[in-house]
Amino acid sequence: MVEERWRIQCFGKVQFVGFRYTARVLAKDLRLTGWVKNLHDGSVLLEAQGGTAQLRKLLIRLKSQPHIHIEKAVITVLPLLPDEHTFRVTGI
């Protein structure tokens, strides 16, 4: 299985809708590691690591949530963090 680490910045109706906690639940179900946090500009930033197919599923499932409206998602591929073992909510 090919593993990657994605940084995804999501714009739209993504704060005050349970985005971070939904992302954590979905990431854990998909066995991804990483973190998610709100940014001061109203967007949400997350880094997730795991199989490429699971990372795609995470983004698809986030986009399919009725209470979340992602207008734009910017994805950057990052180096893997080999010692990371959980997915957590962090930041503001």
Q: One of 38, 56, 61, 88 is an active-site residue; which one?
A: 38
Is residue 38 annotated as part of the catalytic site, yes or no?
A: yes
Closest listed residue to residue 55, CA positions, set 38, 69, 72, 75: 75
Cβ contact 3:67 at 8 Å: no
Distance CA 23, CA 89 (A): 9
Is residue 31 annotated as part of the catalytic site, yes or no?
A: no
What is the SS3 assignment for 13? strand
Cβ neighbours of 31 (radius 10 Å): 10
Q: One of 5, 7, 20, 61 is an active-site residue; which one?
A: 20
Instruction: Give the residue numbers annotated as catalytic, written as ranges.
Output: 20, 38
